Every structure is written in structure tokens, then in C-alpha cells.
Amino acid sequence: MKTHSTGIHHISSMVQDPQRTLDFYGEVLGLRFVKQTVNFDDPGTYHLYFGDETGEPGTVITFFPIAGLGKGKVGSGQVGVTTYLVPAGSLPFWEERLQQHGIATVATTRFDEASLLFEDPDGLVVELVARPSSKQTRWVVEGITKDEAIVGFAGATLLSKDPDETIRLLTELLGFERVAEDGEWVRLIGSADYANVIDVKKTVLPNGVPGTGTVHHIAWRVADGEQYPTWQDAIFDLGLRPTEVKERNYFRSVYFHDAGRILHELATDVPGFTVDESIDSLGETLRLPSWLEEKRDHISRTLPTIELPKGERI
């Protein structure tokens, strides 16, 4: 079997305050809050998931809110920009909406494509791009209609300590196609029609520093876990070291760093976020894996109280 990923599954980032993150991504950007759980490796910390109405792969951003976490620095070995897809013609709406919420925006272009850059409250660099897509929006919040609502990811930029090796990983392991290059970037595209455009910066920047406002890892879509041994062998063949398969309740995962020191994850499309909640109740209650249920009372007392963002399925 040849290894292949259609595009991004999810992106995970680090922040300080869970409520501030819920307010920004749920109310300002209008994403649906799809899962309230904990970091399985650190159950005293929330793991918050946002996406489309069901948390479909390619729409999901997740956060580890860690109180007192120091400010990170974006640089080599990290995702540089997290890019969202919005409907054609909606960038002026988003520029006005963000500025009304006190968020400075910068209009820019990459490969002759207009985009809007800004930072979230923790300094994570976010971008909006308008591209055609068959993906339909079925979740809206007050002030945003389906004609402006975020569809899912458009893609991301990668800042590598070894850009050539990161590009090799994307093409040889993940099946992306190299389609464009200029003096600053190399563009690669996966086979999906969203969450599939990756720009790798050709210049090697100073090393990134993990912390608030930085991406922890980027995850790529894998249909199911049956082929993980093949994936692990292919990762070894590139001279890299994959982890064992990890159970994340909503997907199964394998992690590895590439030669450019970016942390990657291979995450399965199944079983998804409705495995323990109905579509209508996604994100409403704290969900724990079976092995943490006996500690629910203690975990619940440890976690700060949060108020959930509101929206509706259409």
C-alpha cells in the first residue's frame, strides 16, 4: 500500500485561558465547539476542540489551555500560520468584523492569492483565504451567515529547519503534489478540496520556542488505523522515528518529528466526535475516556468553570 493523506486532520495549539479561547473561536470566528475533554497525558488540563457542525476532519482546531504558560515564539520547527477557508467575496466582511472586535488585520497575498492575517488573543497567527470548495457550512453564530462562515481549514504554512526534507516528507510520505514556487515559498497541494494547501517557507528562521500562541503539532488525515504498520515502516524508511499507536477516543494517532523538527501526527478519520455525544449536544459536557472516568470528580474540581459559546445548525 502506498501511503497517502488527503490533507489536514486537525491542528493543535497552546493557549493560556480556556474561556478567552472559547469566546474568540466560538463567538468571534464562529466555529462550533465540538468537544470538551482533557489532555489525556495531563488530565488536569482541558483539551478543547472546535470545528464545523460535526467536527469533520479538515475543520478541527484544538487547544491546550495552560494557566501561566509562557509566551512562545514562532520559528523554525513549527507551523507558522493556521489558514481558514471562507466563501468567495467574504474577506471584506471578515476585515470589518475582526476590526469591530478590536483585532488588527493585515491584507496580504501569497501566490497571487489574497488573504487576511491577524492574531488570536494568545498571539497565534491566523489567516483567512477565500477559495472555491464543495464543502458546505452548516453552523452559524449571531452576526455571521452561511455566506461568510468559515468552512474549515484552507491549509497552513510550515517553518522548517530543513525545508527540503519537510517537502520530501509531504510528497513522498503524505502524497502531496508540488505545484508552485517563488522566492520565499514552495506550495504543495493534497487531493482534498479543502484543508489541503501547504506552503513551506524556503528560508530557515531562528528556532521556534514552544508556548502560548504557538502550534504544538499538525495532524494529517488517515482513513482508518488498519494501515498504521505500513505508515510506521514508511516513516522509518525516511530515517524518522514514529511513536506507537495512541488511542485518542475520537481518532487513533501516530506521532513523529520530521527532519525539520516539525511535530506531525497521523490521525484517523474514524470514529469521530459523535462516538460519545449526539450531533445536537456536541461539546456540552465534559467527556472523559474510560480509563479516566474513575477520576471524574477530581478532574472536574481541578478544571476551571467555562461558559460555552452559542450557535445553531442550519
Ranges of each domain in the chain: 8-313
Specify the pLDDT at position 100. 97
For residue 1, pLDDT beyond 60: no
Residue 219 is predicted with a pLDDT of 98
Q: Report d(CA 9, CA 225) in Å as an integer.
A: 14
| Distances, alpha carbon 133 to alpha carbons 7, 136, 222, 288, in Å | 14, 8, 21, 34
pTM of the model: 0.97
What CATH number does domain 8-313 carry, 3.10.180.10, 3.40.50.2300, 3.30.930.10, 3.40.50.970?
3.10.180.10
How far is residue 92 CA from its own chain's centroid?
24
Kindly report which listed range (3-7, 85-89, 163-167) carries the lowest average pLDDT score.
3-7
Q: Residues 249-278: pLDDT tens digits? A: 999 999 999 999 999 999 999 999 999 999
Burial class (CB within 10 angstroms; exposed 0-12, middle 13-18, buried 19+) of 187: buried
- Residue 304 CA to residue 276 CA, distance in Å, equals 22
Question: Which residues lie below 8 Å from residue 202, measured CB to CB, with a gap of 6+?
Answer: 163, 183, 184, 185, 186
Burial of 88 (0-12, 13-18, 19+ CB in 10 A): exposed
Question: Are the C-beta atoms of residues 28 and 84 closer than 8 Å to each other?
Answer: no
For strand 185-189 and strand 197-201, is the pairing parallel, antiparallel, or unpaired? antiparallel
Model pLDDT, residue 187: 98
Contacting residues for 67 by C-beta, under 8 A, at least 6 apart: 16, 17, 304
Ramachandran assignment for 138, one of left (phi > 0), alpha (psi -120 to 50 degrees), beta (any other): alpha
pLDDT tens digits, one per residue of 58-111: 999 999 999 999 999 999 999 999 999 999 999 999 999 999 999 999 999 999
92 vs 60: CA distance, rounded Å: 24
Give CA separation, 3 vs 35, 174, 223, 235, in Å. Answer: 29, 6, 11, 10
Cα–Cα distance for residue pair 183/181, rounded to 1 Å? 7
Instruction: Please report the DSSP string for 92-114 in residue order.
Output: HHHHHHHHHTT---EEEEETTEE
Please give the average per-residue pLDDT across 20-47, as a whole number. Answer: 96
